[in-house]
């Protein structure tokens, strides 16, 4: 019998939260937790986490390709140049989440991201500074342990730092979700096949 929180899908044990939607399962198996440090991916995830506020992540996943088209692949310099006309275009795009505050946030965050890239060399060099020490992490990532991890000391510090630099929609819970997704932490449950793969990737990953 699988441990609590683990389910069997196509012969692989995986975390329960992906459910049985093929898109969500693929995201869990192939993306979530795998370490990334490229600027466009990190920036995209911050933006999409902001758009998710009040919604499910599956809703965002289903619209992700539309978001990528609307935000020009989340190229930081391109989004930073968006203007009033760009905002009106995005508000008229029914394929994305048409929320003026979140749209303006993404544009403003692009400008802050460009500044940060100039300061640190890359967004990855900044975000990976907040990787927690292994000793601070749960010894075993059980269902119960994961349920207590909606935020962390590191995500609170990251959120505070970003807000001080002018970023918006970057609260500590949002930033912890970002850390989970980008592999800054590995929050797959013990026994999850994808989690084992993530652990191997993290062990070989060269921190920026």
Q: Which residues are catalytic?
A: 27, 49, 57
Cβ atoms within 10 Å, residue 160: 13
Q: Is residue 8 classed as helix, strand or coil in its secondary structure?
A: strand
Picking from 26, 27, 16, 44, the residue whose alpha carbon sits closest to that of residue 178 is: 44
Picking from 61, 65, 34, the residue whose alpha carbon sits closest to that of residue 196 is: 34
Sign of CA dihedral 80, 164, 45, 90: negative
Backbone torsions φ then ψ of 137, nearest 5 degrees: -90, 155
């Amino acid at each position: 019998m699988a441990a609590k929180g683990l389910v069997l899908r196509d012969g692989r044990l995986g975390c329960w939260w992906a459910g049985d939607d093929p898109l969500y399962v693929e995201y869990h198996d192939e993306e979530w937790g795998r370490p990334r440090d490229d600027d466009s991916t990190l920036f995209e995830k911050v933006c999409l986490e902001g758009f998710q506020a009040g919604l499910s992540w599956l809703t965002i996943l289903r619209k992700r390709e539309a978001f990528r088209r609307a935000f020009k692949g989340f190229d930081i310099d391109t989004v930073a140049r968006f203007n009033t006309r760009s905002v009106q275009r995005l508000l008229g795009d029914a394929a994305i989440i048409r929320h003026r505050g979140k749209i303006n946030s993404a544009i403003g965050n692009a400008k802050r991201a460009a500044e940060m890239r100039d300061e640190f060399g890359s967004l990855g060099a900044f975000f990976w500074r907040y990787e927690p020490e292994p000793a601070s992490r749960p010894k075993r990532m059980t269902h119960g342990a994961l349920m207590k991890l909606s935020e962390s000391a590191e995500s609170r510090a990251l959120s505070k730092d970003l807000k001080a630099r002018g970023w918006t929609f970057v609260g500590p819970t949002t930033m912890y979700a970002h850390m989970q997704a980008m592999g800054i932490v590995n929050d797959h449950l013990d026994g999850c096949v994808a989690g084992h793969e993530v652990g191997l990737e993290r062990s070989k990953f060269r921190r920026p």
